Amino acid sequence: MPRPRTNPTPDTPKVLDKALRVLDAFGEASTAWSEAGLRDHVGIPSTTLNRILRSLEQAGYVMRGDDGRYRLGAAAMRLGHRASASLELPALLDPHLRELARRTEELVILAVPDLATGRATYIAVADCPKRVRVTAEIGTTVPLTAGATAKTILAFQPKTRIDAVLARAPERLAAGTIIDPKRIRRELSTIAQRGWGLSWEETYDGAWAVAAPVLDDDGRAVAAFGVATPVSRHSRAVQDEFRAAVTDVAARAASALRLGQRAKHA
């Protein structure tokens, strides 16, 4: 089966690009900035920079001290901890990945979000042992709007994050890729309501997939497990079997992660 196309340099909305430049400045040359100093450092006009700082401050990503200087806020710290945890995910969730592969005997994918770029990255895979199979490589990135695994991640994000991702032009990867933003939004709503995602030839021609999220304490998807298989092996009974397997494994993986994090910080 062909692999999904990847785009190493996705388009980034101008405002988002500037906001990321602002966040990158903290720790790059200083951990605290005055607004004037930050303006000179990142080269963003004062009016635009002021709006970005207000938005980041409201969301908790920066905070303004009594000295008038800006520092990273609690939300940025939490995001950093989640990023650190995601680096450990392949090892921590490998037993669950292998279990799901044994139960389905199909390709199993573990993916994590990169909300800044609007994409999902495959950080671990378990190959299908059958001759006719779907394949994927670790490191592959796909839009968060395409495929069961990526859409399941996006469905369990705050509305503001979903809106930012949907502001990008949808990218077609395969015959069934959904590129209508309204339809994508309906799909995300359905996934959030039922707790799992389904796709048909959205990232791989000739393949369908089912996926479930790995949720944190806030109900946000830090990752998702997906099972992908050729359309020739689809039936409603198989779909139901795989859906039950992936939701079960993802829920237990989320519980294991939360227990591990609590033990780590105890």
Domain contains 9: no
Longest dimension (CA), the chain: 65
| Tokens read off for 149 | 């695994």
CATH number at residue 81: 3.30.450.40
Residue-number span of the structural domain to which 164 is assigned? 77-265
Lowest mean pLDDT among 19-23, 146-150, 208-212, 213-217: 19-23
- Work out the pLDDT band at 85, boundaries 50, 70, 90: low
Co-location of 221 and 207 in the same domain? yes
Co-location of 54 and 95 in the same domain? no
Residue type at position 47: T
**For the chain, how many residues are written?**
266
Question: How confident is the model over 30-56, as pLDDT tens digits?
Answer: 788 999 999 999 899 999 999 999 999
Q: Which of 30, 52, 72 is the last residue of a domain?
A: 72
pTM higher than the cut 0.85? no
Tokens 């799901």 found at? 100
> Coil, helix or strand for 45?
coil
Comparing CA positions, the residue from 198, 121, 114 lying closest to residue 152 is 198
CATH number at residue 31: 1.10.10.10
Domain count, the chain: 2
List residues bridging with 111 in a β-sheet.
122, 224
Question: How confident is the model over 204-230, as pLDDT tens digits?
Answer: 999 999 999 999 988 999 999 999 999
